[in-house]
A and B are shown apart, each in its own frame.
Chain A
Amino acid sequence: MTREIIGMVFILLGIMFDFFGVLGLVRLPDVYNRLQAATKCVTFGSAGILFGVFIIQGFNNFGFKVLIGIVFIFLTSPVSAHAISRAAHRSKIPLAKESVVDQYQEDNELRD
C-alpha cells in the first residue's frame, strides 16, 4: 500500500513536469529557450513517470522493462538535444531579441 502511494507521488510529479515543459515549449520565444525548457522538463517528467511505475510494479518483468527505459532515456535525450541545438546554431537560426551574449559564435570567430 505504501509502495503504491509513493509510486503515485512520483507519477504525479512526472506529469506535472511534463505539463510545464510542454507549456515552455509553447510559450518561450526562441529555439534554444524552447529546447532548454522542453528537454529538461520532459526528461525529468517521463523518467519520473517510469520510476513511479517501477516502484509500483517491483522486480517483475514490467519493472525491469521500465528500468531499462529509464537508463535509455537518460543516455539518449541529452545527446539528441545537443545535436539539435548545434545544428540549429550552424544553420544560422537567429537568437531572440532579448538575448545578450552568444559565446559559441565568439569562439568560432576567434578560431577562424
Chain B
Amino acid sequence: MKFIRWLLGLLLIAAFLYGNFYIYEGDILYKLVNVILFCAVFVLFRVLFGPTAADRIVAVDIMGILIVGLLALFGLAQKQSFFMDIGLIWALLSFIASLAFAKILEGRYLDD
C-alpha cells in the first residue's frame, strides 16, 4: 500500500515534469510559475487529508508564503509591478490568519 502510494507520487511528478518542460511551449518564466502551481497541489492534498487540525493550519500558512513567490514571478513575467502589492497584502493577511488559528487551536479565543 505504501509502495503503491510512493509510486503514484513519483509518476505524478515525472508526468508533470515531462509535460511542463517538453510539451508545453512558452517562456521559461511561465514554466517556473507552473512548477509553483504544481507545489500548491501537494499543499492542497495536505489541507484536504490532514489527520489533525494543526496539519491543516501548517498547510494554509505555507500556501500563503508560496503564493507570494508565485506573484513575484508572475509580475516579473508580465512586467507589471502591482502584483507585488497583492503579494505584500497576501503575506500580511496570511500571517494574521495563522496567528488567529493558532490561538483558537490552543483553546483560547480572540478576546483573552
Contact A31 B61 (CB under 8 A): no
CB distance from B32 to the nearest CB of A (A): 6
Instruction: Provide the residues of chain A in CB contact with B112, threshold 8 Å.
Output: none
**Interface flags, B49-62, vs A, CB<8A=1, else 0:** 00010110111011
The answer, yes or no, to whether A26 is at the interface (CB within 8 Å) is yes
Interface residues of A in 70-100 (CB under 8 A from B): 72-73, 76-77, 79-81, 83-84, 86-88, 90-91, 93
Of B39, B75, B91, the residue contacting A72 (CB under 8 A) is B91
The answer, yes or no, to whether B19 is at the interface (CB within 8 Å) is no
Instruction: Provide the residues of chain B in CB contact with A66, threshold 8 Å.
Output: 72, 84
Instruction: Provide the residues of chain B in CB contact with A84, threshold 8 Å.
Output: 54, 57-58, 61, 98, 101-102, 105
Q: A50-B72, A53-B76, A84-B98 are in contact. Are A69 and B84 (CB under 8 A)?
A: yes
Of A53, A83, A91, the residue contacting B72 (CB under 8 A) is A53
Contact B43 A15 (CB under 8 A): no
CB distance from A96 to the nearest CB of B (A): 11
Q: What CA separation (Å) do A68 and B59 show in the bound complex?
A: 24
Of B85, B91, B106, the residue contacting A73 (CB under 8 A) is B91
Of A26, A34, A43, A65, the residue contacting B88 (CB under 8 A) is A65
Q: What CA separation (Å) do A56 and B105 show in the bound complex?
A: 41
* A/B interface sample: 17 pairs, CB < 8 A: A15-B36, A18-B66, A22-B66, A25-B42, A25-B43, A38-B62, A39-B62, A42-B66, A50-B68, A53-B72, A69-B87, A83-B98, A83-B99, A84-B57, A86-B102, A87-B103, A88-B105
Where the two chains meet, the residues of B that have a C-beta atom closer than 8 Å to any C-beta of A are 9, 32, 35-36, 39, 42-43, 45-46, 52, 54-55, 57-59, 61-62, 65-66, 68-69, 72-73, 75-76, 81, 84-85, 87-88, 91-92, 95, 98-99, 101-103, 105-107
Q: With A23-B42, A45-B69, A50-B69 given, can you name 7 additional A-B contacts, CB distance below 8 Å? A: A22-B66, A34-B46, A42-B65, A68-B88, A72-B88, A73-B68, A88-B105
